Amino acid sequence: MIINKFILVLISLFIQLSISVYSQTDWVRWEKSDPTYQKKDTHLNRDFDLSIQSVSDVIVKPLINAYWFFVSDVDGANCPFHPSCSSFLVQSIKETNPFKGTLMFFDRFTRDTNVFGRLEHYPRYGTNHFYDPISLYTLDKEKIKIIPTNTFINE
């Protein structure tokens, strides 16, 4: 009986301490909130887009969308990275130019083929992807933003 009470007091003290350590909840005033019961879909979905915004889009967009529709969406999620290699190609062409974009794509494909050391090299995205944005490879130093490898990104 005495031991039970003693244990309860210890638990109570531990909780009080952990509450004070975690008081960060109340460092900003908050109001009543009713978060949704619904669960999020963790599967990554394709961003099909046929809008023409530049000259290269006329060729690239139909080709890429056709590839996504007929091939990529049927052979499973094989790219360990986010954005996927084909999306990487589209984004890099959009951001730079077709020639530079193609070079970036070949380099990305090389990194895709190397199956070793990904955990130590790339931050994580979602449940089972690695984050590898084009901004690191445009040769524009201002755009490079280093994210530590043990970070989880959930956009």
Partner 1 sequence: MSNKIFFLLVVILFPIYGQQIDIHSPKNIKKFADFLFCDKDYLRAIDEYKKYLQVVEDDTANYKIALGYSLINDQSNALQEFSSINNSSALYEQSRIEVLKSLSLSKSDSAFYLLANNLINSKSQFSNNAQRLLNTSILLNENELPDKNKFLIPFESDDKLLLGNYYDLKINPPYKSETVAGILSAIIPGSGKIYTEDYGDGITAFLLTGLFTYLAYTNFENDHQTRGWIFIALGAGFYTGNVYGSVASAQIFNAKVNFNFENGLKLFLEDKNYFTPAYDFCK
Partner 2 sequence: MIFVNKKILVIILVAITNLHSQTLKDQFSYANELFNEGKYFDAITEFKRLQFFDSENQFSFQSNILIGKSYKAGAKFDDAIKYFTLAEISSRNDEEYFNSNILKARTNILRRTNHQAERILNELLVDTKFKSKENEIKYWLGWNLIFLDEWKKASKIFLENNLDTTLSNLCISVDDKMYSVNFAKYSSYVIPGFGQFYTGEYVSGLLSLSWNVFAGYLTVNSFIEDRVFDGIITANFLWMRFYSGNTQNAEKFALQKNLEISNKALNYLQFQFKGEKP
Q: Which does 105 bind (CB under 5 to 8 A by kind): partner 1, partner 2, none?
A: partner 1
The CA distance from 148 to 56, in Å, is 34
Given candidates 35, 120, 145, 150, which one binds partner 2 under the rule CB under 8 A? Answer: 35
CB of 67 to partner 2, least distance (A): 13
The site that binds partner 2 (CB under 8 A) totals a number of residues, namely: 30
CB of 146 to partner 1, least distance (A): 4
Q: Which is nearer to partner 2, 57 or 112 (CB)?
A: 112
Q: Are 87 and 72 in contact (CB under 8 A)?
A: no
Say whether residue 77 binds partner 2 (CB under 8 A): yes
User: Shortest CA distance to 134 belongs to which of 98, 82, 99?
Assistant: 82
The CA distance from 141 to 135, in Å, is 9
CB of 2 to partner 2, least distance (A): 16
The CA distance from 44 to 83, in Å, is 10
Angle among Cα 69, 73, 76 to the nearest 5 degrees reads 160
Q: DSSP 3-state helix, strand, coil percentages of the chain (rounded to 5)?
A: 50, 5, 45
Given candidates 73, 121, 144, 147, which one binds partner 2 under the rule CB under 8 A? Answer: 73
Given candidates 3, 41, 55, 106, which one binds partner 2 under the rule CB under 8 A? Answer: 41
CB of 129 to partner 2, least distance (A): 14
Q: Which two tokens stand for residue 125?
A: 């995205």
Q: Residues in the site for partner 2, rule: CB under 8 A?
A: 8, 11-12, 15-16, 18-19, 22, 25-26, 29-39, 41, 43, 70, 73-78
